[in-house]
Structure 1
Amino acid sequence: MTLDAACAALLALRKLISGLRTALLALAALVWLAVTAVTCLAGVGLLIAPSALHALHAVAERERRRLARWGPDLVGPGPAPTRLRAALTDPTTRRELRWLVSHATLGLLLGALGIYLPLSAVRDTTFPLWWKLGPPDATSTSLGVGTAHSWPAALSVALLGLGWCAIILGLSPTMADLQARAGRRLLSAGPDADISLRIAELTATRAAALDAHAVELRRIERSLHDGTQNRLVAVTVLIGASRRMVARDPSGADELLERAQSAAEQALAELRTVVRGIIPPVLADRGLAGALTGLAVSCPVPCRIDVEVPQRCAASVEATAYFVVAEALTNIAKHSHARTAAVTVRSGSGRLLLDITDDGRGGVDENGGSGILGISNRIAAHDGTLDISSPAGGPTTLKVELPCGS
């Protein structure tokens, strides 16, 4: 039971600290909105109101993703307006404002306690080990009161540290639930919110996933039919012919067997290529960074890879990222006339972020070409986002965001 309580307390502290980050962002957004409201009286705030509202919605969306990592998915009500007049009457914006005030005050306090309590527990519990090394008139407790001039006083500070530990074990899960309560209540789709757009989005995402799956099956079938199957048929024909010739023309039969062996080796190589196209083994062997480095080495266009992903993502997410980069580099090599390319991969807040750029001629059409469509379908299958910037003359930038649940 004590081990379970310690694990629950540790998890709660992680939740509180993660909530502290969004609470600091919420405080900054709240100050920005307050400044905007005050300056609106002079007319200046009307110019910065859209950016302040955008910050509000961005912080709220970040909190939704955070809560989804620590519990059930939080389905938002859909896009919120950034125009001042529409925002004043929008129920989603009003709910997000109520959450912002709560999280920037109570949520910030609880998050700060999530850091203060364990530090105080460690400091006071270990006080007898180092109290003689400090100045004689220094405060002995983490509360800022009292001084220790004897071993009994130092041991009493250690007892205070054990009290902090008891508070952490007993109250931190409740504190974490309290910190998340406002977000789960106010940031989800309310009873007056129209979630038909979200339903339509999820329906489209499922259709894109099915389309991507069907395209992948057709690609595998075509590869097996046009390559491996033809090689194996040739092997069968050559072996049959060599069996008929072995009695009357041994040297000719030996030549046919050599050709059959060569065809079998080619079939095996093609079969391995098809298998690698399903889930590349290099992902399991070398991780995402190693797999993408391999893609960069084989790319005709010089490509720089920069990957900072401290923890492994789900295998399906890594495979999607791998195939997105592979398809993007193929498009760059075929169509962009680029001299250099770069791939940057980062992870944070439960998202895997990919940035693929090249210095080519640009002009990529998001709605045209099977390559871009295939990339878009793969990303949509994971409920990710794709943003393409490709003005005429370049450069072209693909920004991909995939949920990775870490």
Structure 2
Amino acid sequence: MPRKTGVTTWRGYFTERLRAGVTAVEHIVGGLGTSLLAFVALVWLAMVAAASLLGVGLLLASTVFRVNRAVANRERARLTRWGPAVIGPPPLPATIREALRDPEVRRELAWVSVHGTVGLLLSIAGFLLPVYAIQNGTFPLWYWAIDPDAGGPGFIGWRIDGFADALGVWLVGVGFAAVLIGLGPGIAKLQALPGRRLLTPAGDADLSLRVAELTATRAAALDAHTAELRRIERSLHDGTQNRLVAVNVLIGAARRAADRNPAAVADILERAQEATEQALAELRAVVRGILPPVLDDRGLGAALAGLAGTCAVPCELQVDVPGRCAVSVEATAYFLVAEALTNVVKHSGAASAAVTVRREQDRLHLRITDDGCGGADEKGGSGLRGIRRRIEAYDGRFVLTSPPGGPTTMDVELPCGS
């Protein structure tokens, strides 16, 4: 039995490290894009500076700040998707002199210089690791298709005489994969470090922006709470209340019929009983809409399994949430998935959907995907604005990717405590 526990522990550790390596590759690829943009912005800065010596570049000086701001905002958006939110600075100053005195502009210039050089080298190195790992790792499958004297892929220049040499190249690919799994997360963090240090507002500016963000978040929370109360009131008024009124009318009719037409009383009471049962069913549905009992009794995984099992579109569910989160967080996650699956059924035309929920330290990550027609837009309704309001009320993050033709991916991150 201890041996089985040890195997399970090692398997879990390896799975976690592999997942961290894959996530690091995603970070590095995203950072490679922004580092290339930063390099272009840096080249443009150098060209304008050189032209300014001739007096021509002064006419283009303002474009340097706009280009840097655009690239920096792309990096801020990338960092926000993968970690704590990076709040953007106020608008650029009106004049070049004011821009040069602005500490935020200076920090962006410093970031472009670092990310466009050191960050670019880190990004290329991190990007080549998985490329070489795949290229060398699959070499035994296609080594016969190349000239033996040409050597192996990448920097491997020795002669490939047969399958044994191809296995040697495969071992090199395994080494690259091991380096990626071991060092990939560190490379991703080092790649993001300049942005975390230089693109976040400093001092009082950061405090003011965060106060403004908290004010907007509080307003979103109040809006979400008001919308939820309105939904409950509408459900009770349009459903349960009307059923109870019908029951009251039928009971009155039965009482009057007791003297005039006793034979009709049984039929009237049967209709009253049916109306009562419908009212109770609708009342139970409203109560479940406030907080599903299965969520409180058995946890988030069981509650989501019920949603996936009753979804009209085949839905694959993966839940990796050790322990319990706060009740409010679990309820929010439940209703987000419920609303998202409702949208999938009503609007996407999808043949399948998938829900993945996992907890990483103090963050709860949800991903809902479908293979439908895509084109989902918050401005078009479909409950997406309500989903965003719920998430913002908990200081979470919401990213929707839905190109025309699909697929649609909804990524949600909620703080759930340590």
The partner residue of 1:14 within 12, 16, 23 is 23
In the alignment, structure 1 residue 98 sits paired with structure 2 residue 110 = yes
Distance 1:162 1:263, change over 3 A: closer
The residue type equivalent to 2:250 in the other structure is: L
Q: Which runs of 5+ in 2 are unaligned?
A: 1-8, 293-305, 316-338, 358-363, 367-372, 398-409
1:344 aligns with 2:355: no
Give the aligned partner of residue 325 of structure 1: none
- Aligned match of 1:118 in 118, 122, 130? 130
Question: Equivalent residue for 2:380?
Answer: 356
In 2, are the aligned partners of 1:80 and 1:93 still within 8 Å (CA)?
Answer: no
Question: d(CA) in 1 for partners of 2:269 and 2:353?
Answer: 51
Task: Write the distance in 2 (CA, Å) between the matches of 1:354 and 1:165.
Answer: 40
1:3-402 to 2 correspondences below 5 Å: 3=11, 4-5=13-14, 7-32=16-41, 34-35=43-44, 38-39=47-48, 41=52, 42=56, 43-46=58-61, 48-49=63-64, 51-68=66-83, 73-76=84-87, 78-81=89-92, 83=94, 84-150=96-162, 153-191=165-203, 193-221=205-233, 223-225=235-237, 227-235=239-247, 238-239=250-251, 242=254, 249-261=261-273, 263-264=275-276, 267=279, 271=283, 285=311, 286=313, 291-292=342-343, 312=355, 344-345=375-376, 354-356=378-380, 381=393
Q: CA deviation at 1:213?
A: 0.5
Given the superposition, is the C-alpha separation of residues 101 and 24 from structure 1 closer, same or farther in structure 2, using an over 3 Å criterion?
Answer: farther
Report if the CA contact (8 A) 1:98-1:186 is conserved: yes
Scaled by the length of structure 2, the TM-score of the pair is 0.61
Structure 1 residue 257 displacement after superposition: 1.8
Q: Does the C-alpha gap of structure 1 residues 242 and 308 become closer, same or farther in structure 2, counting only changes over 3 Å?
A: closer
CA shift for structure 1 position 28: 2.0
For 1:187, the aligned partner's letter is L
Deviation, structure 1 residue 46? 4.3
Q: Distance in 1 between matches of 2:39 and 2:278?
A: 65
Distance 2:162 2:26 in 1: 36
Cα separation, 2, equivalents of 1:117 and 1:105: 19
- Contact 1:231–1:266 (8 Å) recurs in 2: yes
Cα pair 2:257 2:264 within 8 Å, conserved: yes
- Paired residues in the alignment total 336
Change (3 A) 1:306 1:224: closer
Decide whether the 8 Å contact of 1:63 with 1:183 is kept in 2: no
More displaced 10-residue stretch of structure 1: 58-67 or 3-12: 3-12
Amino acid at match of 2:380: I
Q: Structure 2: how far apart are the matches of 1:29 and 1:224?
A: 56
Q: In 1, distance between residues paired with 2:217 and 2:171?
A: 56
| Aligned counterpart, 1:326 | none
Q: Which runs of 5+ in 1 are unaligned?
A: 297-304, 319-341, 346-352, 358-370, 386-401
Using the aligned pairs only, state the percent identity: 40
User: 1: distance between equivalents of 2:164 and 2:396?
Assistant: 59
Q: Is the 8 A contact 1:17 1:111 kept in 2?
A: no
CA contact (8 A) 1:91 1:193 kept: no
Residue identity in the other structure for 1:179:
Q
TM score, norm. by length of structure 1: 0.63
Is the 2:86–2:200 Cα contact (8 Å) retained in structure 1? yes
